[in-house]
A and B are shown apart, each in its own frame.
Chain A
Amino acid sequence: MIAARGLSIRTGAGHAAVRSADLAIRPGERLGVVGESGSGKTLLALAMIGMVPEGLQVSGEIAVGGTVVAPGDEAAWQRLRAREVAMIFQEPMSALNPLARVGDTIAEPLMVHRGLTRSAARAQARELLEETGIPQPERRLDQYPHELSGGQRQRVLIALALACDPALLIADEPTTALDAAVALRITDLLVRLARERRMALLFISHDLAAVARTTEAMLVMYGGDIVERGATDRVLADPAHPYTKGLIAARPSLAQRGRRRLPTIPGTVPPLEALAEGCRFAGRCPVELPRCVHLRPAATATASGSAACHLLGAAP
């Protein structure tokens, strides 16, 4: 079980980029985080692996397994990274060393963290590549990243992340840079791996369709707040928070054909310093109440999970 409690991330100027977020993932669970740019979803993911960029202040606590880690305890995080928590990124090319053979890249953590010999590590690397479904795994070991396609590179990164058998895999927009057909296969792979290994998956994406087919539960973030959470299919079918509703409605869907105006959320995501102190969505919300601007709504139970919105609170 991996959990964050009261996790907040502030910029140097003191603006909150993530506001007291709580989340918990059980072994084998697939949790999606949906949000637009500036929602704080990537920072939340980075905090879960102790890699928030310098200059930002993280507070709150993160529990990995039974142990509680302070967000800034770099020594503790170094012990946990790769072995307990691993991460894959959006751009598979820049995440791989272009001068290292794929096999060596994957074998290195096996030798460092698990003390395998060179030949044992290579054999293990081959098995990991095979598990990711990459064609001709044996041949890939001696290839360089530029010789692989985008989807193959993402599979190599997944194999690398799996090397030390982590309890949680964080995937930050892993399919955004990939073509649709390849993206479908990568999300299928992530689902299969989570099931087979009883590995928790934290899947960060702006793409509702990718989250829908990859995850069982989801969080919706806006302006650094988790505004809604619940079972993925039920949240998508019956969103409760005005932002979630707007986001789903604004998404072009296959059902609308030929030059239909889409419902929109007015305005644009404001910069951090311009966000309201209360509900972050205040100012763009179509059903705003006077208290929304200065009073932060608490999470309230909904049919599909919970949402933080004053409209859902004690009805007048």
Chain B
Amino acid sequence: MRVPFNLALGAALVALVLAVALVSLVWTPHPHAALDVANKFAPPSAVHWLGTDQLGRDLVSQLMVAARNSMAVAVLAVGIGCALGTGLGLLAAARGGWTEEAIMRLSDLGFAFPALLFAIMLAAVFGPSLPNVVIAIAFINIPTFARVSRAAANQVWRRDYVWAARAAGMGRFAISRDHILPNIAAPVIVQMTIEFAVAILVEAALSYLGLGAQPPNPSWGRMLSEAQTLMYLAPQLAIWPGLCIVTAVLGFSLLGDGLRDITDPRLTRVRAA
């Protein structure tokens, strides 16, 4: 089978961002928080590949550490949201009746709640921090995954092999674990990929507002907001983190689209009779 172009490009971009984030754990060109005020706004050079910022910190090192923060937030938040949401979706599909109604109405409520507002609320109560960003993004992901997994699970529950499992005497929990979960994995993974992109964007937005990563912990969003006042003096300080956000978000979006294209049976070509 030929790999679709969007899938290949998306996977490549995601791999690039992930690789940079992982490398930052063991190596950056300079300590990312090292100040060198004498050397501020340095142009790109062999020492500072992309130059330095208004406090003389190495831009590449900051971008690398920010990639790590961004990825960590996205993976943790979407992971938690997916686990809880999919669990609820499976429960709703398995139990049906008023349980399903209740879960779905609650998730409607969750949808009605803007993520930014929730994060601002959390920050107001507990103070701004990356963990609070993770909680906020995880929370808004729960209804999304509950909905996707329930819709997919309800389809699988109608399959004959599920009836066969019931005829065999399997309980609802065992059927959910053995048959439903493996067979809804594809749409859930596609949704995860798309939600990664959203999470990166939300994290950047929250950090831009000062509700996310706190100094000296770098974040693409905060780098953007700090560069804003220096736009005319040093536009590169805004351009590079902006490009990083675009790369990561575009990468995950394309990857999600590509995965959907190859896993959605409605889009795969029917075999010739």
Contact between chain A and chain B defined by CB under 8 Å: yes
B272 interface hit (Cβ, 8 Å): yes
Return B267 CB to nearest CB of chain A, in Å.
15
B273 interface hit (Cβ, 8 Å): yes
Question: In the complex, A17 Cα to B273 Cα: how many Å?
Answer: 9
Interface string of B244-270 (1 = CB under 8 A from A): 000000000000000000000000001
Q: Which residues of B lie under 8 Å from residue A37 when comparing CB positions?
A: 273
Interface string of B31-65 (1 = CB under 8 A from A): 00000000000000000000000000000000000
Main secondary structure of the interface of A (DSSP, over half): loop
Q: How many residues of A contact B (CB 8 A)?
A: 8
Q: Which residues of A lie under 8 Å from residue B273 when comparing CB positions?
A: 37, 42-43
Return B123 CB to nearest CB of chain A, in Å.
47
Q: Which residue of B lies closest to A56 (CB)?
A: B272
Interface string of A77-99 (1 = CB under 8 A from B): 00000000000000000000000
Q: Which residues of A lie under 8 Å from residue B272 when comparing CB positions?
A: 11, 17, 43, 53, 55-56
Q: Which residues of B lie under 8 Å from residue A53 when comparing CB positions?
A: 270, 272
Return B269 CB to nearest CB of chain A, in Å.
8
Q: Which residue of B lies closest to A12 (CB)?
A: B272
Q: Which residue of B lies closest to A41 (CB)?
A: B273
Q: Which residue of B lies closest to A53 (CB)?
A: B272
Return A176 CB to nearest CB of chain B, in Å.
13
Question: In the complex, A11 Cα to B272 Cα: how many Å?
Answer: 9
Question: In the complex, A55 Cα to B272 Cα: how many Å?
Answer: 9
Q: Which residue of A lies closest to B273 (CB)?
A: A42
Q: Which residues of B lie under 8 Å from residue A55 when comparing CB positions?
A: 272
Question: In the complex, A55 Cα to B269 Cα: how many Å?
Answer: 11
Q: Which residues of A lie under 8 Å from residue B270 when comparing CB positions?
A: 53
Question: In the complex, A43 Cα to B271 Cα: how many Å?
Answer: 12
Return B265 CB to nearest CB of chain A, in Å.
15
Q: Which residues of B lie under 8 Å from residue A43 when comparing CB positions?
A: 272-273
Q: Which residue of B lies closest to A52 (CB)?
A: B272
Question: In the complex, A37 Cα to B273 Cα: how many Å?
Answer: 8
- Chain A, 49-83, CB within 8 A of any chain B CB: 53, 55-56
Question: In the complex, A55 Cα to B273 Cα: how many Å?
Answer: 12
Interface string of A19-45 (1 = CB under 8 A from B): 000000000000000000100001100
Question: In the complex, A11 Cα to B270 Cα: how many Å?
Answer: 14
Question: In the complex, A43 Cα to B273 Cα: how many Å?
Answer: 7
Q: Which residues of B lie under 8 Å from residue A11 when comparing CB positions?
A: 272
Q: Which residue of A lies closest to B270 (CB)?
A: A53
Return A93 CB to nearest CB of chain B, in Å.
16
Return A145 CB to nearest CB of chain B, in Å.
19
Return A161 CB to nearest CB of chain B, in Å.
20
Question: In the complex, A11 Cα to B271 Cα: how many Å?
Answer: 11
Return B155 CB to nearest CB of chain A, in Å.
17
Question: In the complex, A42 Cα to B273 Cα: how many Å?
Answer: 7
Return B105 CB to nearest CB of chain A, in Å.
28
Q: Which residue of B lies closest to A172 (CB)?
A: B273
Q: Which residues of B lie under 8 Å from residue A56 when comparing CB positions?
A: 272
Question: In the complex, A37 Cα to B272 Cα: how many Å?
Answer: 11
Question: In the complex, A42 Cα to B272 Cα: how many Å?
Answer: 10
Q: Which residue of B lies closest to A42 (CB)?
A: B273
Interface string of A236-256 (1 = CB under 8 A from B): 000000000000000000000
Question: In the complex, A43 Cα to B272 Cα: how many Å?
Answer: 9
A to B CB contacts below 8 Å, 10 in the list: A11-B272, A17-B272, A37-B273, A42-B273, A43-B272, A43-B273, A53-B270, A53-B272, A55-B272, A56-B272
Give the interface of A toward B (CB within 8 A).
Answer: 11, 17, 37, 42-43, 53, 55-56
* 7 additional A-B residue pairs with CB within 8 Å, beyond A43-B273, A53-B272: A11-B272, A17-B272, A37-B273, A43-B272, A53-B270, A55-B272, A56-B272
Top 9 A-B pairs ranked by shortest CB distance? A42-B273, A53-B272, A56-B272, A43-B273, A55-B272, A11-B272, A43-B272, A17-B272, A37-B273
